Amino acid sequence: MTSRTSARSTATLRLGTRASRLAHTQSQTVADAVTAASGVPVELVHISTEGDRSAAAIAQLGGTGVFVTAIRRALLEGTVDVAVHSYKDLPTAPEPGLVVAAVPPREDPRDALVARDRLTLGELPPGSRVGTGAPRRVAQLRALGLGLEVVPIRGNVDTRMARVVPGDLDAVVLARAGLARLGRLDVVTEVLDPLQVLPAPAQGALAVECRADDERTLQLLAALDDPGTRAAVLAERTTLAALEAGCSAPVAAHAELAEGEDGPELYLRASVTALDGSDGVRGSVTGPVGDAERLGRELAADLLDRGAAALVAAAR
């Protein structure tokens, strides 16, 4: 090995990340995994995104992509070599010149309730104010018919939880995965059953992205990829894409791996719910892990046949 090749193989990787505590924690986890697998040092580079700079609702900012556009631009320009995204924030359309090189093992994708007095969702009295920033959660909470007042909120995890104790809300709903990564599962009063509140497509998963022509980085990141998580996320996001809905639409999808008679299978569930909770369609499909994309399209077609298109259009 020449000295030039040796230097290149150990050169520091620059990892672009949002500066929020959760984004930084997620990115540091990936950075540590790269270094542990390869010995290559990784430097975090903070990048401000449109979603970070504005207090407006995500839907008002244009929905899909508000947390990733600036980071992807830095990747394409060569300012950074790697980006770590919450996979659910990524647009479903591929970005020319970039590739998701690794999908690490997923955290529990379910939603979690953080409520006053350690109450569960069913114990909150009618009229309780429950905060969430996701139209999907708004729609599904209203559909439960518990008489809750669902309040739109923005901000990082700590800001949202501060609205509960001693704030103006009775509870907030957050992704359990984020609380787990921050070491804050102690505040969770209930992990919500997917039969009540189905998670967002790709919730709990990370997408580790790099330039498609960066062979060195592609090889370094390959060790982090979890095929089962990648297949589950592909099925969920294919459903979302086929419904022609973005990450701010009231669409939920969750795929689980199970052992079938002929080998590993995916059990994929999805739903589309009216924002006022008055209507909705749900469905499920099962098939081989290798058919993840087909399963996603098949389930989306079934939901569209049963009225999902009108619900997505109304939500826009």
Q: Which residues carry out catalysis?
A: 89
d(CA 302, CA 310): 14
Residue 164 corresponds to which tokens in the numbers above? 């509960």
What would the 3-class secondary structure string for 63-127 be? Answer: CCCCCCHHHHHHHHHCCCCEEEEEHHHCCCCCCCCEEEEECCCCCCCCEEEEEHHHCCHHHCCCC
Numbers of helices and strands, H then E, in the chain? 11, 13
CB of 203 within 8 A of CB of 141?
A: no
| Residue 273 identity | T
Looking only at the bridges linking them, the beta strands covering 82-86 and 206-211 are antiparallel
Q: Side by side, which strands form the sheet with 42-46?
A: 42-46, 13-17, 82-86, 206-211, 98-102
Partners of 271 in the β-ladder: 252, 282
